[in-house]
Structures are given as structure tokens and as C-alpha cells.
């Protein structure tokens, strides 16, 4: 096919070249319709059970984000194409080629968004459609005009619909309910979750580096739990337990969003007259569609930055995958702690006069460990590069199979600690402003984490791949001057599953609350010693809850763990049993096979069996027969 210009014959004029505006308009129109189709695919996936299909793309915002991003991207490509056509002296005869080119791009994205076709299959299907589009537009001269009008009309519709949906979501609230009038004047409640923070990197827990002076100060003003454990080793199931008071085998969140079977803390407090709001930085597993937003009348999860908008489209993800080639390894559009603080204060200044329950989730110590300056050099002369431990680059094992040297591991730890130092400064600013406004005395403040992080212990990096201590031992600090004694350090083993019962108890709204378990206030009321031997925490994963083999727990099978102030017992579905003393901080000595500890394994296993549902306990029952 020859589309270049040739010398004009006598009596024949040279066909005009397609204008720059025409090519860009065609490209942008295809981008808009591409974005519409992509958004509709996401909407379809949102109403069909699809493990993990909900985690990246939110409705209703995606209804306008995808068309906007794709139209701009296609327009940019159209501009480059128009410039190239001028250089190559292409004529209007090439216009069907442009339709075929942009049409192929518009077809590929919706196919890829379905997540059920291989990239090569999507390319082949898009190519086939583009060939047919070329043939059609070449023989139907009015087709380009009709197609452009149809595309423009469809784009206008999706932009209006998406804008309306976004305004409705933000204006009417997630919960769709009106909080009841408060019965009395209960305290405000501020729940702060520091995503991915392991307890033994907090100064107040004995870490040799001064990483958290502000959190240490908060702990001195309230109670610090020395042995607090998350119910799971990754974000969604752990947050679900924090919000519902239920174990993972009960709420079963993870591969699917948190369901509606169990009421959340926000739902209950809203019914008690609280104004409720959530501000989250982890927009993968704490998004509104994760189920954690139930009961919050305001829930800010996405689109803090342009980068965050872009990476929630197919082509944005592809561009994000190319960023490491340019030396950029951070999470595109990562919402920093100070941005979360700003969202919270903006909401607080505009809320109705009522006690508030605010949930703040920070993502600053999540991999890659890239702290903003000057914190990136807080513990090292050389900032962490971000390309060694990176779950975006290496979702299977966080390191791409590399065996990191001790120096490389230390560089990652330095980056983690620098990120923690930045996060601590933001938490300090949050608490300082709360106190400056005179809210500190009447606000129940809880600071904790959803899980820890591994730096090579047991050959593991990252999280979500086991239940060892470094993955589930988390900080827990509670400050409420009216009821929490300052400077209390509690040695009991406790579970974050008890937080809802604790919150409603300390707030004085616990009568008739639907949350199981006992309030952690009993720990300081009994002097911190009574009942320590009987206290325990359960952490677990479920079989098949993450069927995607790219996720570690999808390959390793289920794990059950029970931790006391002296022991941790781990049962692996794959057939192994591990028993560690609390004093074995690196968990290097498995004592499960020692004859003198058979009784310990039997007793802890019996506690687990009594707690876990029979269908979830079945794979583990045989493991303990030799210890009976």
C-alpha cells in the first residue's frame, strides 16, 4: 500500500495531507472510547466474583479517570504520529491507517483489563480488529466522520456520568446512612495503622536506633503492649480483623473483599452518633471496594495525585512497569503520610459537631523503602535504591530470586528505618496538632500496624508469606488520659482482633456491641500480670484465599499460629510444625521435635483446635496426632 505523495500528473492535484488537528482528534476520540470500554470492564468485574479483581480499580472514579487518561495518552501519540506523517509526506490516503492504528490500541486495553487473556492474545485480537477497521474505513468515506461523532458522543456521556458518580460518592458518603444523634459526649476516636511496621524496629520496643521518638513519647503518655500480634501477615485480612473483631477464618477477607456478615467498628460507631471518616494510603488493599469502608460517611482512598490516577488504567500500568528502566522504583502516586494528615484535618474542619471516629492508614514503610529527603540519608550515606526488595517488580518473592548480600540487606533495612523516621515525624505532627487544638484529652488514640516485614529471616523478604514473629509482631500504643494510665507497659500476648471490643469499652458505648473478645483495658486494670499465662494471640492464613500463584500464600498453603508470652506454635498445611521460645528473637531453633516440649505443642494445638472452625482445622488435625 502506497500512501506517500507522488508528483502530480497534468490536470491532477496532489491530495492534501491530513491536518495535525485531524490526527490528534481521531487519536483522542479513540482514547476516550477506549477508556469507556476499559471502565465498563472494571464495572463488570466489580459485580462478578473475581479474586483480587477488585483491588486496583475503583468505581465510580474510574468511569472518568480511564477515559481522561486514555484520551490524553492517545492524543500525545496522535501528535507524534502527525509529526511523523509530515516528515514522511503522507497524504489523506493514510487516514484509514491511523484509524487502524488507534483502533488497535483502543481494543487492546479493554481486552487486557479483563485479566483473562495473555498479552500476546490481546495483541493478536486487537490486530485482527484493526485490519477490519482499516478495510472498512478505506471503502466507506463517510465512516471517519460518523465514527468521530459517535466516539465524541460516547465520550461526553461517560465524562458526565463519571463526574456525577464521583460527586455522588464523595458527597453522599460511602455508608449511605445518617449517623444517629449522640446519646452523651463520648470521646473522639483516632485509629492509626502504620502499614508494614514491625514492632522491633520501634525505639520504644528496644530497637538500637532512634527511629520513633514521637511514637515513643506517645507511648509514655499511655499504654504500650509489648507483645501485640496481628491476625494475619498482610493488609486486607489483618485490617478486616481490626475493624470487625473477627479472625481471618471468620471474615475470610483476602481473595475477596470483606463481606457484610459481620458489622464493622465504623458501622457500630456511626449508629452511636459518631461522625466517621477514613483516610488511607494503601489503595490496593484498603480501598473502598475492599469492604473496609463500610460505615464511613467519608472515605478518601484514591487519586491524591496524577500518578495515582494514571496507574489505575491498563496503559498506565504498562507505563508504570517501564519506570524502573528510567531509574524510578517507587510506587507511582504513593500517598505520603503528610498528605493523609492534610486530608484528615480538612475533613475535621468541615465536619458537623459530633464526636468523630477517624481511621488513618499510612504506607510509608511499605516496600520499596524510599523515604523523602532528608530521611533517605537518616541512617546511611547512600539512599536505598528501591530495586532490591520491591513487590511491584518482584511479586512472587519480593527480590526476583536474588540472594542478597549482607550489605544489600542492610541497605534495605537502612531505607526501611529512614522511611519509619519520616513516618514517625508525620505521626508526631498529627498528635501535636491534635493536642494544640485541645482535643488530646478527649480523644482515644490507638496506634498500631497491620503486619510486619521480613528481611531475610527464614529466607523470606517482604510479608504475606508466613506467620513468623517478624511478620506478625506489631506495635500497639493506646493513649486516653481519662482511662489509660501513662507509662504502662503490658507484657501479655494480645491480638489486634480485640481492638473493636477495646474501643467501644473505653469509649463507654460497649453495651450491646456486636464485637467478640475482651477489652484490652483488663491488662492494666489487673496490674499487667494476672492472666499472662492464659493470654494468647492467633494468626492465620486460609487455604486458597489468594489463588493467584504470584502471591506467596497462594503457593505455600494455609498456616495457623498461636502465640503466648512464652511460645509460638506454627502449623503449616504443607506438613511441618514449628515451636519457638519467645526469647528466641530470630526464631532459629525449632523445638517442636524435642521430647521435653511435646506437651507444649499438644496444649497449644488444643487451644487452636478449639478456636478454629472445623473446615479450616481439618488439614491440620493430623499434624498433632503424634503429640497427643
User: pLDDT at position 542, please?
Assistant: 81
pLDDT band at 55 (very low <50, low <70, confident <90, very high): low
- Measured CA to CA, the distance from residue 133 to residue 151 in angstroms comes to 15
pLDDT band at 353 (very low <50, low <70, confident <90, very high): confident
513 has a pLDDT exceeding 90: yes
Give SS3 for 409. helix
User: pLDDT at position 421, please?
Assistant: 99
Element (H, E) at 218: helix 213-220
> Does 220 share its domain with 298?
yes
pLDDT band at 5 (very low <50, low <70, confident <90, very high): very low
**Domain boundary at 486, 515, 532, which?**
532
**Domain boundary at 467, 500, 532, which?**
532
Residue 7 lies in a domain: no
- Measured CA to CA, the distance from residue 95 to residue 73 in angstroms comes to 19
**Domain boundary at 172, 199, 233, which?**
172
> Does 514 share its domain with 542?
no
pLDDT band at 303 (very low <50, low <70, confident <90, very high): low
Q: E-strand spans in 543-620?
A: 559-563, 567-572, 577-581
> Does 623 share its domain with 508?
no
393 Cβ partners below 8 Å, 6+ apart?
324, 329, 387, 400
Q: Under a CB-based contact definition with an 8 Å cutoff, are residues 474 and 198 in contact?
A: yes
Q: Residue 116 is part of which domain span?
A: 20-172
> Does 440 share its domain with 556?
no
170 has a pLDDT exceeding 50: no
CATH number at residue 622: 3.30.1120
Strand partners, 462: 454
> Does 436 share its domain with 517?
yes
pTM for this one?
0.86
Mean pLDDT of 188-207: 98
> Does 81 share its domain with 207?
no
Distances (CA, A) of 253 to 177, 278, 430: 23, 19, 30
User: pLDDT at position 65, please?
Assistant: 81
Give SS3 for 90. strand
Across the chain, mean pLDDT equals 86
- Measured CA to CA, the distance from residue 65 to residue 77 in angstroms comes to 18
356-362 vs 188-194, strand pairing mode: parallel
pLDDT in tens, 253-281: 987 899 999 999 999 999 999 999 999 99
Element (H, E) at 621: helix 614-621
Give the gyration radius of the chain's Cα atoms. Answer: 28
> Does 67 share its domain with 149?
yes
* Alpha helical stretches, state H, 221-264: 235-244, 248-251
Counting the structural domains of the chain, the total is 3
* Total count of residues recorded for the chain: 628
223-229 vs 473-474, strand pairing mode: antiparallel
DSSP one-letter code for 213: H
CATH number at residue 355: 3.40.720.10
Looking at per-residue pLDDT, the higher value among 179 and 224 belongs to: 224
How open is the CA angle 13-16-18, to the nearest 5 degrees?
A: 165
User: pLDDT at position 141, please?
Assistant: 64
> Does 88 share its domain with 150?
yes
Q: Under a CB-based contact definition with an 8 Å cutoff, are residues 54 and 312 in contact?
A: no
Strand partners, 192: 360, 447
Amino acid at each position: 500500500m502506497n500512501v506517500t505523495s507522488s508528483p502530480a500528473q497534468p490536470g491532477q492535484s496532489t491530495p492534501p495531507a491530513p491536518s495535525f488537528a485531524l490526527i490528534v482528534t481521531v487519536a483522542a476520540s479513540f482514547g476516550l472510547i477506549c477508556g469507556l470500554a476499559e471502565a465498563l470492564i472494571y464495572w463488570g468485574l466489580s459485580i462478578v466474583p473475581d479474586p483480587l479483581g477488585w483491588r486496583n480499580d475503583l468505581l465510580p472514579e474510574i468511569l472518568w479517570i480511564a477515559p481522561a487518561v486514555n484520551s490524553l495518552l492517545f492524543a500525545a501519540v496522535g501528535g507524534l504520529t502527525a509529526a511523523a506523517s509530515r516528515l514522511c509526506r503522507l497524504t489523506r490516503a493514510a487516514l484509514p491507517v491511523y484509524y487502524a492504528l488507534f483502533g488497535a490500541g483502543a481494543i487492546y486495553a479493554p481486552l487486557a483489563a479483563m485479566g483473562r487473556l495473555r498479552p500476546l492474545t490481546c495483541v493478536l485480537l486487537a490486530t485482527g480488529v484493526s485490519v477490519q477497521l482499516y478495510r472498512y474505513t478505506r471503502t466507506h468515506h463517510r465512516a471517519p466522520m460518523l465514527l468521530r461523532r459517535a466516539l465524541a458522543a460516547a465520550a461526553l456521556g461517560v465524562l458526565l456520568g463519571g463526574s456525577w458518580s464521583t460527586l455522588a460518592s464523595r458527597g453522599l458518603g460511602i455508608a449511605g446512612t445518617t449517623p444517629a444523634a449522640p446519646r452523651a459526649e463520648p470521646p473522639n476516636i483516632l485509629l492509626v495503622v502504620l502499614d508494614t511496621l514491625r514492632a522491633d524496629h520501634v525505639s520504644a520496643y528496644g530497637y538500637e536506633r532512634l527511629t520513633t521518638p514521637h511514637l515513643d513519647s506517645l507511648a509514655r503518655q499511655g499504654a504500650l503492649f509489648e507483645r501485640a500480634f496481628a491476625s494475619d501477615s498482610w493488609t486486607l485480612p489483618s485490617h478486616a480483623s481490626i475493624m470487625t473483631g473477627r479472625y481471618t477464618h471468620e471474615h475470610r477477607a483476602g481473595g475477596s473483599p470483606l463481606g457484610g456478615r459481620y458489622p464493622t467498628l465504623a458501622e457500630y460507631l456511626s449508629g452511636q452518633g459518631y461522625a466517621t471518616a477514613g483516610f488511607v494510603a494503601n489503595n490496593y488493599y484498603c480501598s473502598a471496594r475492599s469492604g473496609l469502608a463500610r460505615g464511613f460517611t467519608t472515605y478518601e482512598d484514591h487519586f491524591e495525585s496524577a500518578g495515582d490516577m494514571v496507574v489505575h488504567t491498563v496503559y498506565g500500568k504498562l507505563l508504570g512497569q517501564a519506570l524502573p528502566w528510567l531509574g524510578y522504583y517507587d510506587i507511582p502516586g504513593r500517598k505520603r503520610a503528610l498528605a493523609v494528615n492534610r486530608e484528615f484535618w480538612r475533613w475535621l474542619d468541615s465536619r458537623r459537631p459530633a464526636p468523630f471516629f477517624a481511621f488513618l492508614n499510612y504506607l510509608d514503610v511499605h516496600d520499596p523503602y524510599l523515604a523523602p529527603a532528608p530521611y533517605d540519608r537518616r541512617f546511611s550515606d547512600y539512599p536505598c535504591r528501591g530495586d532490591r526488595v520491591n513487590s511491584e517488580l518482584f511479586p512472587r518473592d519480593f527480590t526476583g530470586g536474588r540472594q542478597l548480600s549482607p550489605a544489600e540487606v542492610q541497605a534495605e533495612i537502612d531505607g526501611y528505618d529512614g522511611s519509619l523516621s519520616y513516618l514517625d515525624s508525620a505521626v508526631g505532627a498529627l498528635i501535636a496538632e491534635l493536642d494544640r487544638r485541645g482535643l488530646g484529652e478527649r480523644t482515644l488514640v490507638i496506634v498500631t500496624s497491620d503486619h510486619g516485614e521480613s528481611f531475610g529471616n527464614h529466607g523470606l523478604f517482604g510479608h504475606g508469606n508466613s506467620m513468623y514473629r517478624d511478620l506478625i509482631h506489631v506495635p500497639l500504643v493506646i493513649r486516653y488520659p481519662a482511662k489509660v494510665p501513662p507509662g504502662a507497659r503490658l507484657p501479655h500476648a494480645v491480638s489486634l482482633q480485640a481492638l473493636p471490643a477495646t474501643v467501644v469499652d473505653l469509649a463507654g458505648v460497649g453495651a450491646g456491641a456486636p464485637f467478640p473478645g475482651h477489652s484490652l483495658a483488663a491488662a492494666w486494670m489487673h496490674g499487667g500480670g494476672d492472666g499472662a499465662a492464659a493470654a494468647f494471640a492467633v494468626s492465620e492464613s486460609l487455604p486458597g484465599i489468594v489463588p493467584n500463584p504470584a502471591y506467596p500464600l497462594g503457593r505455600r498453603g494455609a498456616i495457623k499460629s498461636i502465640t503466648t508470652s512464652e511460645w509460638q506454635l506454627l502449623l503449616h498445611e504443607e506438613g511441618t510444625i514449628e515451636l519457638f521460645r519467645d526469647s528466641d528473637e530470630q526464631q532459629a531453633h525449632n523445638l517442636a521435635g524435642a521430647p521435653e516440649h511435646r506437651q507444649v505443642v499438644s496444649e497449644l494445638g488444643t487451644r487452636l483446635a478449639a478456636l478454629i472452625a472445623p473446615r479450616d482445622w481439618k488439614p491440620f488435625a493430623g499434624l498433632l496426632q503424634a503429640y497427643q
